[in-house]
């Protein structure tokens, strides 16, 4: 299976990476995909969980934090279309789309249909994203970049 990798490069004036993660997750879910959002740790996962209850405004984004969600025998989230995880080892292959907010490359990206990398305006995070871009290219993937001013 091929994996489409997209880098969303945020302008300094754009809303936060977390807000874009909510928006992209909503769009993927509305297209019928199961989504995993990889946060940069437990604290970030908790904050993202709270944000998804309120953003996008007047929209419902069905989500759950793993390991808090109910799981089936295979360890997959059995209910929520959008799963928030705090480490890459929690990414289940039952998800078609991964939104990566962490500073690390998603391991074994070919098991997913799409990988959405969000690049914040902060210089340190931009450099981490450049490293990820090169790593995906080494795997034979052809990442595409999108400049995001507003959404």
CA distance 58 to 70: 26
Q: Domain residues for 9?
A: 4-148
pLDDT of residue 51: 95
Per-residue pLDDT tens for 4-32?
999 999 998 888 999 999 999 999 999 99
Q: What is the C-alpha to C-alpha distance for residues 98 and 84, in angstroms, rounded to an integer?
A: 10
pLDDT number for residue 69 = 47
71 in the Ramachandran plot: left (φ > 0), alpha (ψ -120 to 50) or beta?
beta
Confidence tier at 78 by pLDDT (50, 70, 90)? low
Question: Based on the structure, what is the number of domains in the chain?
Answer: 1
Is the pLDDT at 73 greater than 60? The verdict is: no
Distance CA 25, CA 45 (A): 14
Q: Does residue 82 contact residue 61 with C-beta atoms inside 8 Å? A: yes
pLDDT digits (tens, 9 = 90+) for 85-129: 999 988 988 899 999 999 999 999 999 999 999 999 999 999 999
Domain at 19, CATH number: 3.40.50.10110
């Amino acid at each position: 299976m091929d994996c489409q990798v997209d880098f969303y490069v945020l302008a300094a004036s754009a809303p936060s990476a977390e807000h874009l993660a909510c928006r992209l997750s909503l769009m993927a879910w509305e297209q019928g995909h199961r989504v995993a959002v990889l946060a940069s740790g437990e604290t970030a996962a908790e904050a993202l969980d709270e944000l998804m209850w309120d953003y996008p405004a007047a929209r419902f984004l069905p989500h759950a934090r793993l390991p808090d969600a109910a799981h089936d025998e295979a360890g997959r989230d059995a209910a929520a279309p959008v799963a928030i995880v705090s480490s890459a080892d929690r990414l289940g292959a039952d998800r078609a789309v991964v939104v990566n907010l962490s500073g690390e490359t998603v391991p074994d990206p070919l098991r997913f249909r799409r990988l959405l990398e969000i690049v914040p305006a902060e210089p340190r995070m931009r450099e981490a994203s450049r490293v990820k871009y090169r790593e995906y290219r080494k795997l034979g993937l052809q990442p595409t970049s999108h400049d995001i001013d507003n959404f």
